[in-house]
Amino acid sequence: MTQPVAADPASAKEAKVSAREWIKLCALSLLTIFLLAGSVELVARALFPAGNRTGAGEDCMILHDGTGNVRGIPNCVVWEKPLEGELAEYRFNSSGYRNDSDFAPKRPGTYRIVVLGTSMATGLRVPQEKTFSALLPLQLSKRTGRRVELYNLGLPWRSPDAIAQHMDEAIALKPDMILWAVTPKDVWNTSWKVPTFEAPGRNRNAGMWFRIKAAMAPKALMARVSFSVGQLRTVTMLRHFLYASPSLYVPSSLAGGDYNEDFLETKPSAKWQRQLSEFDRSAASIEEQSREAGIPFATVLIPDRTQVALIAMMGDRPDGLDPYKLDNDLRSIITSHGGAYIDILPDFRTIPNPQAGYMAVDGHPNVAGHAEIANFLTSKLAADVFQEPQAGLQQAHWAGH
Amino acid sequence: MDSASFHFILFGLAAAVISNLSTSPKWRSTVLGVASALFIGFLVHDSHTVLPFCGFLVLGYLCLLLIERGWPRSLAWIFGAVILFYVWLKKYTFLPEASLLHFPYFILGLSYIFYRVLHLLIEAGDRAEKQHVAFGAYLLYTLNFTTFVSGPIQRYDEFAQDQFASEPLPLGPQVVGLQLERIVRGFFKVNVLGMLLNAVRADSLAQISAPLAATAKLSAALELVLVYPLFIYCNFSGYIDIVIALARLMRVRLPENFNRPFSTSSVLDFWNRWHMSLSNWFKAYVYNPLLVALMRRFTSVKLEPLLAVICFFVTFFLLGIWHGRTSEFIVFGVVNGVGVSVNKLWQIGLTRKMGRKGYKELAKNPVYRAFGRGLNFIWFGFALFWFWADWEQIHRIFGALSAAEWVGVWLTAWIAATAVLSVWEWARALLLSITYSGGPVLTSGWAHVVYGSALGLVSIVIVVLLSQPAPGIVYKAF
């Protein structure tokens, strides 16, 4: 076997392979597979360390408060080292929102913005000081010369319905503007409930026999295998690098089981129309409360990674998909109720590899992505709210006022 | 089924297993026939769409019968009819729209069948001793599922020698092991390397069109130049690896189609190593007859080298335009023709200036070879723009940068290709120099097991993770 092997030893007399050599060959094959898999996992663990201080932003939240809503735990602090990002501190104030300071009465001359939204508004997986909510008031203050402060009322899984229920908290802060950071998921899950995080096949309430039976069922077994494989750092590493390419990421993302691609399709489905109607109802309620309180209301769409990757693909995107469609739908809904719509989506076209501003596996914006979002919002708000003369190029996007 | 997918490989392996239940030529031919019919059946969605395709096969066989029965004087008419029917079925854009069939019909693999049919006709016309090709054998040869989609273009005598032999090629464990490793290697090339390289190309194409800074566009342009030759090599040679291995498991040896094409330092030699079965076909049936005809017409010895230049141009121009029906492929043919003929002129010029010995010495010089390798690579990359892009994309790509920037891109690409290919050649030579028990470790059975297992694992993981089909085999479209 150590002899060189001709490409086709048909003409030569073929040496017999003994049973012992067969066993050796199989062992070598298995050894290769184990060594390769093991060494790649080690490299992946070195490149994507989980960090010593365990925890996640979700530890500062009561995910199931009995009403299906999420609540932040007041005065909670937790550290998280996401696999694809840097160490992030979550500091919740006494009101249970991710802010460095407690909510206080507004000082004269201060322009106060209250941000509503879900995980992207919260800045999940990103250090607090690097979220767009933290950067935006600093950049606006610097650019306009006015004192701008921002209170972040974003919480993961806080659906549009839940936001409508909690509008009194935003209004009580007496802001000069309420800014709703909407994500595509908010639109397709207007009244979503917090999912449970448990490995498939586990049900702690069931008896031992039923748990074994459930675990051995073919579907459950596959789900468990798939779940376990998904936990490997190798998978995270490979996805991270492969998903850097928009043309590889988009088809994989669209094939994902929990991804609703209806919002990207040029021809809207009846199901999507119903989801838009539901969102419209929630948006109307939110905007009405804001209007009644006399507070200007604006909405911005924070695109998801697939949407941004489609934008990066330019004219070579798959047929029948339009990353700007939701943008247009949202503008119509928000402005029809008197709110303003801040359109930052086309700005993603002007930066190279915009999808790099998102964590490839986790899907949330990373530090660079939050910085870009803050830049885009600063330009729009400086031009349209603070009437900065040199930045007045985006008036058209600030519709509704 | 028309790509290097799991399904195709499983189908081929199943056919190979059944075929090896008996070594009788009848049994093996029946299995190959049934497998090929099933294969085409999987690809055809509507039975009436296959009628024009069947018409071409029948016409080819009728022409073959005519030649076999001693109608050599009609040879030109027969070739004309077959070529015209092929061009008409392929809907070449220079044909009047009204003359074409206006319903969708099946043409996959037609180009390769065209070459096989022409080969049979030419050989039948040339052969002094007439040999009858039965209709069953004709169908097996033209529709063989291992060569149906993208070749390689096998000669009939070689096919018949293996397929109809009463003592077929031996198939021991070593051969089986090697073929399985080759299938894994081919699958890896198409579904992992090819897929990743195609993604880089698609991303670069988007990036060069985006309103971005010049540096981003320059980097995208460089990627576009360098990546597509590698992609098409992985895509095509990977598929060929799979079909050659499957055919060998069915005890038929297909001709090799690639021989490390980017290791060569000249455009002329490149075509001896790239899509070899097609190049050899053109050499045998276009270049040689044309050169002989011109030499008969122009008898001066001094003119001989120039006649060769003309023949090279014509051959590679035709080879280029065969690839497609649109005007882009005319430019592709011209660029290929210019590449080989200028290379030939360069050889002639240097030989005259330095003498045969001096030129041979120069051609052996490692630095000259390295830069020649890089130049051949980027010339091929340049030609390929008219192969994969349409006019709109070509305008978009070349309009994205200024002329000076493009010069910089091509120079950088040349240097990069020279450096990378030199390192590759050096590393390969180094690895092959490590010997054990009288042979290089790299080609030992153990090494085949190691990289077969490793590539198999990587392929499965990547394919499962990306959960999307690899790009189709580019050459199936021709």
Q: In chain B, what residues touch A8 (CB-CB under 8 Å)?
A: 175, 178, 248, 253
Domain boundaries, chain B: 6-163, 173-258+437-470, 261-432
Q: Does A252 touch chain B (CB under 8 A)?
A: yes
Q: Cβ contact (<8 Å) for A248 and B468?
A: yes
With beta carbons under 8 A apart, name residues in chain B contacting A255: 467-468
B450:A32 CB<8 A: yes
Residues of B in contact with A9 (CB under 8 A): 172, 174-175, 178
Q: What is the pLDDT at residue A268?
A: 82
What span, in angstroms and rounded, lies between the C-alpha atoms of B9 and B13? 6
| Count of CB pairs separated by less than 8 Å, A with B | 136
**What is the nearest CA distance from A49 to chain B, expressed in angstroms?**
21
Q: What is the pLDDT of residue A282?
A: 93
Alpha carbon distance A149, A147 (integer Å) = 7
- Please tell me whether residue B97 adopts helix, strand or coil conformation: helix
Contact map slice: A 345-374 vs B, CB within 8 A: 349-353
| CA distance, residue B471 to nearest chain A CA (Å) | 11
A294/B contact by beta carbon, under 8 A: no
pLDDT score of A14: 65
- List the single best residue of B162, B169, B174, B231 to mutate versus A (max A Cβ within 10 A): B174
Output the pTM of the full model. 0.87
At residue B471, the pLDDT reads: 85
Contact B293, B317 (CB under 8 A): no
Please tell me the distance in Å from A118's CA to the nearest CA on chain B.
28
**Are the beta carbons of A391 and A270 closer than 8 angstroms?**
no
List phi, psi (to 5°) of A228. Answer: -65, -40
Sites in chain A below the pLDDT cut of 50: 1-2, 199-201, 389-401
Closest Cα partner for B324 from B243, B401, B389?
Answer: B389
CB nearest to A4's CB, from B200, B444, B449: B444
Contact A400, A339 (CB under 8 A): yes
The residue of chain A nearest to residue B182, with distances taken between CA atoms, is A7
Closest to B248 (Cβ–Cβ): which among A8, A32, A36? A8
* Residue B314, amino acid: V
- Give Rg (Cα) of chain A: 26
Q: Which residues touch A353 (CB under 8 Å, ≥6 apart)?
A: A244, A312, B207
CB contact under 8 A, A15 and B462: no
In this structure, are residues A383 and A390 in contact, taking their beta carbons and an 8 Å threshold? no
Closest by Cβ to A255, choosing from B203, B209, B468: B468
- Distance (Å) from the alpha carbon of A348 to chain B's nearest alpha carbon: 10
pLDDT of residue A63: 76
Q: What is the DSSP letter of B93?
A: T
Strand ranges in A266-336 using DSSP code E only, listed in sequence order:
297-301
Contact A300, A178 (CB under 8 A): no
- Within a domain: A366: yes
User: What is the pLDDT, as a whole number, of residue A397?
Assistant: 42
Q: How far is CA A14 from CA A8, A17, B168, B247, B255, in A?
A: 10, 9, 15, 19, 21
CA dihedral (A336, A339, A345, A347) positive or negative: positive
Domain boundaries, position A313: 110-195+256-397
Judging by beta carbons within 10 Å of its beta carbon (0-12, 13-18, 19+), is residue B96 exposed, middle or buried? exposed
The answer to the question of residue A313 being in a domain is: yes
Q: What is the pLDDT of residue A196?
A: 56
Tokens at residue A294, please? 């006399």
Please state, in angstroms and as integers, the Cα–Cα distance from residue B141 to each residue in A62, B57, B148, B158, following that order.
70, 11, 9, 10
Give the best residue of B258, B449, B460 to mutate against chain A (max A CB count within 10 A): B449
Identify whether A184 is part of a domain.
yes
The token duo for B423 is 């390192």
Give me the tens of pLDDT residue by residue for chain B, a chain 478 residues long.
767 899 999 999 999 999 999 999 999 999 999 999 999 999 998 889 999 999 999 999 999 999 988 776 777 888 899 999 999 999 988 889 889 999 999 999 999 999 999 999 999 887 666 678 999 999 999 999 999 999 899 999 999 999 999 999 999 988 999 999 999 999 999 999 999 999 999 999 988 988 888 898 999 999 999 999 999 999 999 999 999 999 999 999 999 999 999 999 999 999 999 999 999 999 999 999 999 999 999 988 888 899 999 999 999 999 998 888 889 999 999 999 999 999 999 999 999 999 999 999 999 999 999 999 999 999 999 999 999 999 999 999 999 999 999 999 999 999 999 999 999 999 999 999 999 877 899 888 899 999 999 999 999 999 988 888 888 888 877 7
Which of B173, B199, B437 minimises the CB distance to A2?
B437
Residue that is written with structure tokens 């879900």 in the block: A118
**Spatial distance between the Cα atoms of A224 and A2, rounded to a whole number of angstroms:** 41
- The answer to whether A29 contacts B452, with C-beta atoms less than 8 Å apart, is yes
pLDDT the model gives residue A389: 46
Specify the CATH number for the domain of residue A265: 3.40.50.1110
Residue A379 resides in a domain: yes
Residues with Cβ within 8 Å of A106's Cβ and at least 6 positions away in sequence, in order, are A112, A149, A173, A174
**A226 found inside a domain:** no
Q: What is the DSSP letter of A17?
A: P
Distinct helix (H) and strand (E) counts, chain A: 14, 9
ipTM of this model? 0.84
Asked if B253 and B247 count as a contact pair (C-beta separation under 8 A), the reply is yes
Q: A251 touching B, CB under 8 A?
A: yes
Question: CB–CB of B253 and A8 under 8 A?
Answer: yes
CB atoms A312 and B210 under 8 Å: yes
Pull the structure tokens for residue A61: 């939240």
Distance from CA of A43 to the nearest CA of B (A): 15
What's the pLDDT score for residue A184? Answer: 93
Per-residue pLDDT tens for A154-165?
A: 998 888 998 998
Q: Are B202 and A247 in contact (CB < 8 Å)?
A: yes
Q: CA-CA distance, B193 to A204, in Å (whole number)?
A: 44
Residue B206 with chain A: CB contacts under 8 Å: 246-247, 312-316
A312 contacts in chain B (CB < 8 Å): 203, 206-207, 210
Nearest chain B residue to A234, by CA: B461
Contact B444 A1 (CB under 8 A): yes
Question: What's residue A241's pLDDT?
Answer: 94
Name the residue facing A10 among B169, B461, B467 (closest C-beta): B169
Interface contact B203-A245, CB threshold 8 A: yes
Q: Which pLDDT score is estimated for A393?
A: 33
Peptide bond into B25 cis (omega under 30): no
Task: Name the strand (E) or helix (H) holding A177.
Answer: strand A177-182
CB count, 10 Å around CB of B193? 21
What's the domain count of chain A?
A: 1
Q: Pairing between strand A147-152 and A177-182?
A: unpaired
Q: Is A14 on the interface with B (CB under 8 A)?
A: yes
DSSP B169: P
* Residue contact B203–A234, C-beta within 8 A: no
Give Cβ neighbours of residue A111 (< 8 Å, ≥ 6 apart).
A140, A146, A147, A148, A149, A176, A177
- Inform me whether the C-beta atom of residue A28 falls under 8 Å from chain B C-beta atoms: yes
In a domain, A151, yes or no: yes
